[in-house]
Amino acid sequence: MSIRVYVCPIEKEAELKKMLEYDPYIDPKIKEEDLKKIREDEMANIIFARQDCVLKDGASINLDPSKCYLFINAQDSFLDKAEKKLKSIEGLERADKSIEEKVAMFIDDERKRADEGFGSIFG
């Protein structure tokens, strides 16, 4: 598993979020015969909803408030294909290493705090 972080203008957050949440296999509007075509389409099978993805606006993680940041933890084979699909979002680009580390550390800390909270609730 590898981690990648992408950055894009906050104005594109809704478009990106829609892409991240969509799974054609649970879409009730997709007909069975169309699912056959989807199974054969490599790009249609890049389903972010089935991966470890977190989208944060910059202000919430003490970074540029005019940007949003996408954290993805997935297999390299998925990430390479996913990057091609993500390029359809105008202005989205891979974050530099220092930003990637900051976002990954923030997500990790947030998850640890959540785990500790559940631990104190359930003892």
Residues 30-72 have pLDDT tens digits of: 998 888 888 999 888 999 999 999 999 999 999 999 999 999 9
Beta-carbon contacts of 55 under 8 Å, excluding residues fewer than 6 positions away, are 13, 16, 17, 20, 68, 69, 70, 71
Please determine, for residue 107, whether its predicted confidence score (pLDDT) is greater than 80.
yes
| pTM attached to this predicted model | 0.88
Q: Can you tell me the distance from the alpha carbon of 79 to that of 63, in angstroms, rounded to the nearest whole number?
A: 24
Instruction: Give per-residue burial for 38-48: e unless 16+ CB within 10 Å, then b.
Output: eeeeeeeebbb
Q: What pLDDT does 32 receive? A: 87
What pLDDT was estimated at residue 116?
75
Q: Which residue has the higher pLDDT, 29 or 119?
A: 29
Residue 118: pLDDT band (50, 70, 90) is low
Higher pLDDT among residues 112 and 119, named by residue: 112
Question: Is the CB of residue 16 less than 8 Å from the CB of residue 7?
Answer: no
**To the nearest whole number, what is the mean pLDDT of the chain?**
92
Rg (CA), the chain: 16
Kind and range of the H or E run holding 72 = strand 67-74
Q: What is the mean pLDDT of the segment spanning 104-113?
A: 94
